[in-house]
């Protein structure tokens, strides 16, 4: 495609398309830190326009998401432009959404990462002629999301450890062992992260924090080298049980699967369940979907 930059707007004139993966955060013990990119995707195209902003949505969220400047991809794109010292453009946006909304699969993070990546793609450079690098995009995306554990795997792909330094979020991607086999159990009901976070206590017992630290560290070893340790590694004491009132059937399914020896956790803030299992089990009230570990955002 011919690439040209408008002298008026400073943005490229051609459409830019990005593909962003679903993500599962926490992975049991790694609350607000660990995350995994999964093979469900949204594809979003943006083109700068001199007319009004227009949003077309196909697939997930087509009936519920806003189609004006309040759409999360547009607000994230604008936030990133401001953070990068650029003006905020009007855009024609076309979303083809494959990630279920409000189920703990990182649909908001996918929209945020799509928005900041589109901003970088439309700007084509940071003003000094360099493309905007992932570390900068991660900081901007995590600022918008409030915690980095979904935006990190959405940007970098695979299995990520994310943390927050005084100057913002950082993350590393680690290789995943071949026989890691994610299955998502997707309920029809939705859940709001704000409700699930409101259910958490301000403090947890020291003994539970120590329990989770050992399991989160073990999760790094289990996912990268020895999946046979995933059942022990994915045990959690600092968030899932506090959320039982908000998502009772989710917590019940996690317990049933774990009693059966299947490493299962609440996916992100729920209400989906993430299991690591070679088989798919029929479960009343949930659709079981076999997924694989995915790469991060890609520019198409």
Residues that bind ligand HSE (CB under 6 A): 25-26, 31-32, 147, 149-150, 193, 196-197, 239, 268-269
**Smaller CB separation from ligand HSE, 142 or 257:** 142
Strand ranges across the sheet with 264-266: 264-266, 273-276, 182-187, 286-290
What are the phi and psi torsion angles at 99 (to 5°)?
Answer: -95, 120
Structure tokens at 139: 């900081």
**Smaller CB separation from ligand HSE, 98 or 268:** 268
What minimum distance in Å lies between the beta carbon of 194 and ligand HSE? Answer: 9
Q: Which helix (H) or strand (E) holds 186?
A: strand 182-187
What is the dihedral angle through the alpha carbons of 49, 55, 57, 61, rounded to the nearest 10 degrees? 150
What are the phi and psi torsion angles at 12 (to 5°)?
Answer: -65, 150
| Binding annotation for ATP | 100-110
What minimum distance in Å lies between the beta carbon of 271 and ligand HSE? Answer: 11
- Residue whose structure tokens are 């699969």: 105
Strands of 216-258, DSSP E: none
What minimum distance in Å lies between the beta carbon of 197 and ligand HSE? Answer: 5
What minimum distance in Å lies between the beta carbon of 108 and ligand HSE? Answer: 7
What minimum distance in Å lies between the beta carbon of 109 and ligand HSE? Answer: 7
250 burial (CB, 10 Å; 0-12 / 13-18 / 19+) is buried
| Binding annotation | 100-110
**Smaller CB separation from ligand HSE, 122 or 274:** 274
**Smaller CB separation from ligand HSE, 96 or 197:** 197
Coil, strand, or helix at residue 24?
strand
What minimum distance in Å lies between the beta carbon of 92 and ligand HSE? Answer: 29
**Smaller CB separation from ligand HSE, 79 or 147:** 147
What minimum distance in Å lies between the beta carbon of 149 and ligand HSE? Answer: 5
CA angle 207-271-35, nearest 5°? 60
Structure tokens at 133: 């690098």
**Smaller CB separation from ligand HSE, 12 or 169:** 169
What are the phi and psi torsion angles at 154 (to 5°)?
Answer: -65, -40
**Smaller CB separation from ligand HSE, 183 or 266:** 266
- The secondary structure of 56-118 as a DSSP string is EEEETTTTTS--STTSHHHHHHHHHHHHTT----EEEEEEEE-SPTTSSS-HHHHHHHHHHHH
Structure tokens at 91: 């855009």
């Amino acid at each position: 495609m011919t690439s040209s930059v408008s002298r008026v707007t400073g943005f490229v004139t051609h459409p830019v398309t990005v593909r962003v993966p679903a993500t599962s955060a926490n992975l049991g013990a790694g609350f607000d830190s660990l995350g995994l990119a999964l093979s469900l995707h949204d594809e979003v195209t943006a083109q700068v326009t001199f007319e009004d902003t227009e949003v077309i949505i196909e697939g997930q969220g087509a009936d519920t998401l806003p189609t004006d400047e309040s759409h999360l991809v547009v607000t994230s794109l604008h936030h990133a432009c401001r953070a990068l010292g650029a003006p905020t453009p009007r855009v024609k946006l076309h979303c083809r959404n494959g990630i279920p909304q409000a189920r703990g699969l990182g649909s908001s993070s996918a929209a945020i990462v799509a928005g900041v990546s589109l901003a970088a793609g439309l700007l084509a450079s940071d003003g000094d002629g360099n493309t905007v690098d992932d570390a900068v995009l991660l900081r901007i995306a995590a600022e918008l999301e409030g915690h980095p554990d979904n935006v990190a795997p959405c940007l970098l792909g695979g299995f990520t450890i994310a943390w927050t330094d005084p100057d913002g979020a950082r993350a590393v991607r680690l290789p995943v062992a071949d026989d890691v086999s994610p299955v998502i159990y997707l309920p029809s009901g939705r859940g709001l992260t704000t409700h699930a976070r409101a259910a958490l206590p301000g403090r947890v017992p020291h003994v539970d924090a120590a329990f989770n630290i050992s399991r989160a560290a073990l999760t790094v070893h289990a996912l990268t080298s020895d999946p046979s340790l995933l059942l022990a590694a994915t045990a959690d004491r600092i968030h899932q049980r506090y959320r039982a009132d908000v998502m009772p059937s989710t917590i019940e399914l996690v317990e049933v699967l774990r009693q059966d020896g299947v490493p299962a956790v609440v996916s992100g803030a729920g209400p989906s369940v993430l299991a690591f299992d070679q088989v798919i089990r029929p479960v009343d009230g949930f659709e079981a979907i076999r997924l694989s570990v995915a790469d991060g955002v890609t520019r198409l």
